[in-house]
Structure 1
Amino acid sequence: MKTSNAKIMFFFCCSILFSACKKESGQQEADKEAPAKKQSNANATLATCCWIGTTNQANDRMEAYDPAVSSWTIPKWSFKPTTALGFNATSELPLWGDVNDVKVRNNNHWGSTQVIVAHGGRLSVIAKYPGGQRIWATGFPTDAGIHGIEILPDGNCVVAAAGTSAGTGGNYIRIYSSSQAAPNQYVNTIYPLTSAHQVLWDPSQNCLWAIGATLNKYAYNTAANGGTVSNPKLSLLMSYSLSTITPWGHDIATYDGDTNKLLVTTNGGVYVFSKSAGAFIPGAITGAAQRAFVNAVSTLPGQNIMVQTYKDPGCTFNGWCANHVDFYNLATGAFLYSRTVSTAAFYRGKSFDPNY
């Protein structure tokens, strides 16, 4: 009888143990699948470096592609504001369109390790990456002509407004207290800059760069300007003329491997700016990489590669788009390869680098 009871108890224990193991195994499999189910962009992961972040005006989406893949068919990540992501159907979504700038940044101010800052049409947004959930958004009048946007390390942001040929708006950069909780997240200050096209935070000099009719350098929240996180301020430190190169700036970017340099594009070409000299370096960009009307420039860190998107006459969607992104040797300017999406109308295609 004792032996029989012992056998029953043994099989009972084994049964419990087997059920527990099966449940744990099943939970582990569910846990493996959970991240993919939670992500609205199934292939997206936290950004390292570097995909290419593009602004596709043909479908009004931000899209990221892998430059190591020769055929760009399905993007690795994409974004467009929706009500499901928390954007307002009445006051925000109708303002979205003609996407023109996107950056991904390491930032945990809102409990997310990375965020994107983006602009399309008349709407600027900050959203969690990769999911795209709304953090902050603000709209602009039709003649603002926002072309560039940057998020600062503390969660505040800056936009560059070029204006439009049909209106008198724009021609400024504007800093917002986007880091703050509502209703204080829209405190802002405007600084004039004719045809402002792009802004870039520089951690090596703790300053903000902006380009338009001139290349400007600004201090952020210093004792001299009295700025605070809740009421952010800029101070113009220097304004550099573009007269030694060609007028009307389009884009600025870091220069891989040298924090003393900036890459700059204008209507007339691609250039390198020396921060210490306060001047453009003659002949720094040569070969096929030196061309006019480059809307976007960047580098792939550690690869000696420059990335460009330029106004391509072959793109008929509008007068400034391209359906491909081009890659060049950074040192020699020699053309390396292109990546094409035949249905796209890219305004910008840049290194999707989360680091400033």
Structure 2
Amino acid sequence: MKTLNAKIIFFLCCSILFLACKKENKPQEANKLAPANKQLSANANATADATLASCCWIGTTNQANATMEAYDPVLTSWATPKWSFKPTTALGFNATSEIPLWGLVNDLKVRNNNQWGSGQVITAQAERLSVIAKYPGGQRIWATGFPADAGVHGMEILPDGNCVVAAAGTSANTGGNYIRIYSSSQAAPNQYVNTIYPLKAAHQVLWDPVNNCLWALGDSLKKYAYNTAASGGTVSNPKLSKIASYSLLSQWGHDIAPYDGDTDKLLVTTNGGVYIFRKSIGAFVVGAGAITGAAQRTFVNSVSTLPGQNTMVQTYKDPGCPINGWCSTHVDFYNLTTGAFLYSRTVSSAGFYRGKSFDPNYL
């Protein structure tokens, strides 16, 4: 009996020891899984960052370092951009015929476009070079150069991968003064078929997916149809047809952008102010409903809105900018409804020409 009791006690002790060992092993197994869980968390954060970049970052053209930079407006410090781009040989740009043409950066857009299999692309314009590149990697898709007096200020990609540039010319009224459409969607050597359409002091172009048309801004606001039967345009030989032309409320257009929450409105800036244009009636808003408050100011180089936030974003000609006479060291944010000033984000060494909502889902 004593021998049996001893065996039972021995068995119970072994069972307890075994269970204790199993419990001790669980934290070790969790620790082994921790790096994998951290990686999953990192991937989730990367996805969140990509989503943020698609809806709420500010894409800037920093003329101080000739670089396109994106910043998070939620952060009070813009010491480090979330994303940046300039052409390099590593990204596929030509060291002789393309990179030397890159200079004062003027315009940046991110668009949903899967023509080249990347899902999203950027259009980037800097002095004498206009570029289409994959986003976020920046790999070259298409690029073309311009003469020194072209004064290209804006660029837009169309749904089929073709593109349009806006060339302002010079202050002496030489060169430029046109918008130009390219067959950038086509494979080499057919990607440079183009047609020019006159537009004095052309500064910006915007594709309107709601109305399936192109808006162009210069000394007037123009509306164009794309590749209609009447124009004879095709994907390989694209054409525009002018639908209408609208006089500005003050001279010299600078920028044009969608109005968040209302697809019937466009925001338009000129030397003289910031305005709302109603597409359905073909007229600028005057009086009630017009832009007021601190947001109504002159020489605004860029305007946009943050989606779902009732916030307008501007950069303007800031006399305090150390780089030149038309840039700014800060991007300013306003209440879209009232025009009240909200806050600024500053990079003291920067020379921002444009700072706009970096949003491919812009309409």
Alignment TM-score > 0.5, same fold:
yes
Tell me whether 1:269 sits opposite 2:273 in the alignment: yes
* 2: CA distance, partners of 1:100 / 1:197: 10
Contact 1:143 1:166 in 2 (8 A): no
Of residues 222, 225, 233, the one that matches 1:227 is 233
Unpaired runs of 5+ residues, structure 2, are 1-28
Superimposed CA distance per residue, residues 147-169 of structure 1 (whole angstroms, 9 cap, x where no aligned partner):
00001111110000000125621
Give me the whole-angstrom Cα distance separating, in 2, the residues matched to 1:229 and 1:28. Answer: 47
**Alignment partner for residue 50 of structure 2, among 23, 42, 45?**
45
Determine the C-alpha separation between the residues in 1 that align with 2:84 and 2:37.
27
Q: In the alignment, does 2:62 pair up with 1:56?
A: yes
Partner of 1:77: 83
- Aligned sequence identity (%): 79
Cα 1:271–1:91 change in 2 (3 A) is: same
Match among 181, 188, 191 for residue 187 of structure 2? 181
Instruction: Write the distance in 2 (CA, Å) between the matches of 1:178 and 1:31.
Output: 39
Aligned with 2:155 (options 149, 152, 161): 149
Deviation at 1:110, TM superposition (A): 0.2
The residue that corresponds to 2:294 in the other structure is 288
CA contact (8 A) 1:311 1:322 kept: yes
Q: What's 2:175 paired with?
A: 169
Report Cα offsets for 1:299-331 as digits up to 9, x if no partner. Answer: 001100000000001102101000000000000
Pair 1:355-2:354 in alignment: no
1:45 counterpart SS class: helix
Residue 278 (1) aligns with residue 282 (2): yes
User: Are 1:126 and 2:106 an aligned pair?
Assistant: no
Shift of 1:28: 6.3
- The alpha-carbon deviation at position 125 of structure 1 amounts to 0.3
- Note closer, same or farther for the CA distance 1:224–1:351 as it changes in structure 2 (3 Å cut): same
Query: Is the CA contact (8 Å cut-off) linking 1:44 and 1:77 kept in structure 2?
Result: no
Shift of 1:213: 0.4
The two structures, once aligned, show a CA RMSD in angstroms of 2.3
Residue in structure 1 matching 2:263, options 234, 239, 259? 259
> Aligned pair 1:209/2:215, yes or no?
yes
Paired AA for residue 302 in structure 1: G
Q: Offset at 1:229?
A: 0.7
**What is the distance in 1 between the residues matched to 2:137 and 2:43?**
11
Distance 1:239 1:166 in 2: 24
In 2: Cα distance, 1:257 partner to 1:347 partner: 26
Distance 1:289 1:106 in 2: 29
How many angstroms apart in 2 are the aligned matches of 1:176 and 1:32? 43
* TM-score (structure 1 length as normaliser): 0.88
Q: How many residues align?
A: 328
Flag structure 1 segments of 5+ consecutive residues without an equivalent: 1-20
Q: Residue 311 in 1 paired to residue 317 in 2? A: yes
What is the TM-score of this pair, normalised by structure 2? Answer: 0.86
2:261 corresponds to which letter in structure 1?
G
Indicate how the Cα distance of structure 1 residues 30 and 262 shifts in structure 2: closer, same or farther if over 3 A, else same.
Answer: same
Deviation for aligned residue 1:121: 1.2
Higher Cα Rg: structure 1 or 2? 2
Give, in whole Å, the separation in 1 of the partners of 2:223 and 2:54.
28
Secondary structure of the residue aligned to 2:339 is: coil
